[in-house]
Structure 1
Amino acid sequence: MAVATKKMVAMARSPSLCRWRRKLSTRCTLRVLVPRREALTGLTEKAGCAEFISQRIELLLCLSAQMGEQWFKSCLPDEYYEKFIAEGIYPDGRSISAFRPLFFKLGAWGGVGSALVKLGGASVSCTVEASLALIHDGPFVFCEIDACASVTQAQVNDVADLLNKVFTNESLSFRSALLVKGIDKEVVMTWELTLRVQILNSDGSILDAVFCAVSAALFDVRLPSVTLKHAKDDESPLRQEEISIHEETTSLALESFPIAFTFHVFKSNNKDY
C-alpha cells in the first residue's frame, strides 16, 4: 500500500477537496466522497490543467487503496486502464501479451461428453447429450444456455447466436462426423447433439469461456456404436426395437474445433494499444 507524503497530506487539506471528504464521529476515519462524473468534468475544465485529475487520483489511491482504485476504475475507466497499459501490464498484474489462466476438467458432468472450464474469473460448464435420427437437411447441433443472475439476457442471446453460426458452418464438417458408422447405407442415420451450457460465474470473458467449454466437451464426446435389425427391402418405418446401442464408443472425429479470440483496441491520447 502506498505511503502518503507531506505533499499528499497537504493536498488532502486543500479547499477543493473539502466537500469530497468527511470525518466519521465514531472512528474518525477519513472517507472520500465520490463526485459525479459531470461535476468532475466541470472542475477539470475550470482548472484548465491535466494535473487536476492525476493529483486527485494519486491522493485517492493513497488514502484508500481499495476504495480509491474502485472509484478510479468506475468513474475514469480510460485513465485507469491507460496507467496500467502504458506500463505493459493489466490491472491484475498480467503482461498485455499474456492470456488469462485457463483450467478445465473433462467428463465431470455426464452425457456423452462434458467439460468444466474456468477462464480467469469466468466459469462455464458444458454437457453434450446425443440422440439418433434419420438423416435430414436441418441442423444437427442444438445449444441450450443457462446463466447466473449476473449475466443479462442480451449476453445470453449473443452467445447463442454466435454458437449457432459456428455450428452451421460447413468448415467444421459436423454432418459427416455425426453420421452413424457401421450400419447399412440404405438406412442413413445420424447423431444429433444438444449442448447444455451453464454460465456459473461471469467475472471475465464469457464468450471465450463458453467456447473453451464447448470445444473441451466436444473433444470429450464418445458416441456408442449402433446396429440395426431392419431388412434392406423392408419399407416399413424404422422401429425403436430394431436399433441396438452398444457399450463400445468412438470419439467425435472433427477436422477442427471452434476457438474464440477476443480483441480490444484501446485508444489513448498518446497512441493506440
Structure 2
Amino acid sequence: MAAGYKTVEPLEYYRKFLKQNCRPDGRDLSEFRTTTINVGSITTADGSALVKLGNCTVICGIKAEFTSPPTDAPNKGYIVPNVDLTPLCSSRFRSGPPGEEAQVASQFIADVIETSQIIQKEDLCIQSGKLSWVLYCDLICLDYDGNLLDACVCALVAALRNVRLPSVKISEETGLAQVTLSSKSPLNVLKQPVSTSFAVFDDTYIIVDPTGEEESLATGLLTVVTDDDGKLCTIRKPGGSSLSAEKLQECISRAVSRHKEVRALLDEVLLSVKTQ
C-alpha cells in the first residue's frame, strides 16, 4: 500500500515524513549522507580524487599542460573546469554535447574557483609573458543521485590538494622548457571552499544534502559555498520557493559547520595518503 501511495502521490507521501522531521531514508532533515573521499586513484593524472556522497559519485582528474599566459595578465595561468554528465551515471542524461545541467554545473565550479580564490593564478606562471600552466579539471559523475554540486566542489578541492607539478625552467640558450620530473611540488592551495546544498519544501521545511528524488519533489533549491574563514563565496538559488532572512541565515550557519566537517575529513584522508 505504501509503495503504491508513493508512486501515485510522491509529494504527499514525502510530506508525511517531513511532518515527523525525518525522511524516507531514515535521515533527519539536517543530516548528510555518508561522505567518503579517495585521492590519487588516477595514476595518469597530475592530481585526482573520488568523492561519494551517499550514492552520488564524482571523480575529478587534473591534467597540467604548458600554455602561453593571457595577453592581459602575462603573470598568470589558467584553471579550466568541466563537468561531464553521461548516460553512465543516469538515464536522464544523453550522449552528445553537454546538456544544460552539465553546463550550469561547469559554470558554477568556475565561479567557485574565482570567488573563493582556491589558488592564486600567479602561482601557475612559469615565466611571465612566456610560459604558464593550465590545469584542466575534468569532473565526471559516475553515479547521479542528487547534490551534484557538493560532490563536485569536494572532489575538485581534494584533487587540487593532490596535484604535484614538476620543476620547470626556461633555458636561456634555447628558450625551451626544461622539465625535472624527479622534482615535484604541491600546489599552494590557499582556500578550501565547501559547498552545502539544501532543498526547500512548501516554504516550511529545509533539508540538507537532497537526493535526486528529493530534488525533483522540492519547491526550491539552495547552494551555499563557504571558505575556511566561514566567509560566503557563492550563493546559488535557481528560483523556486523564497526564503526568509532567518531561514537563509540558518542555512548559512549549517554550511559553516558542514565546512568544518568536510575539511576535517579532507585533512584526515590526505594525511593518511602522505604517511603511506
Unaligned segments of structure 2, at least 5 residues: 94-98, 207-276
Which residue matches 2:121? 175
TM-score of the superposed pair, with normalisation by structure 1: 0.63
1:265 partnered with 2:200: yes
How many residues align? The count is: 193
User: CA RMSD of the aligned region, Å?
Assistant: 2.5
Query: Paired residue for 1:3?
Result: none
Output the CA distance in 2 between the equivalents of 1:160 and 1:263: 19
Runs of 4+ that moved beyond 4 A: 185-188
State the 1:187 CA deviation. Answer: 6.4
- Counterpart amino acid of residue 172 in structure 1: I
Deviation at 1:223, TM superposition (A): 1.2
The counterpart of 1:154, out of the listed 100, 110, 118, is 100
- Is residue 61–residue 138 contact of structure 2 (8 Å, CA) maintained in 1? yes
- Which residue does 1:25 correspond to in 2? none
Partner of 1:102: 35
Distance 1:272 1:188, change over 3 A: same
Greater gyration radius: 1
Kept in 1, the 8 Å contact 2:63–2:135? The answer is yes
- Find out whether 1:163 has 2:97 as its counterpart: no
Cα gap change, 1:131/1:90 in structure 2, threshold over 3 Å: closer, same or farther? same
Identical-residue share of aligned pairs (%):
28
Structure 1: gaps of 5 or more residues: 1-59, 62-66
The structure whose residues are more often strand, as a share, is 2
Which of 30, 44, 48 does residue 114 from structure 1 map onto?
48
Matching residue of 1:243: 178
Does 2:69 align with 1:135?
Answer: yes
Deviations 1:185-227 (A, max 9, x none): 6666321100122111102322221222111111111111112
Q: C-alpha offsets along residues 34-72 of structure 1, whole Å, 9 cap, x if unaligned?
A: xxxxxxxxxxxxxxxxxxxxxxxxxx22xxxxx33xx42
CA spacing shift, 1:206–1:170, aligned 2, 3 Å: closer
Matches within 5 A, 1:1-273: 60-61=1-2, 67-68=3-4, 71-72=5-6, 74-110=7-43, 111-136=45-70, 137=72, 140-149=78-87, 150=90, 151-152=92-93, 153-169=99-115, 171-180=117-126, 189-230=131-172, 238-239=175-176, 242-267=177-202, 271-273=204-206
The alignment partner of 2:200 has SS state of coil
Higher relative contact order (CA 8 A, sep 6+): 2
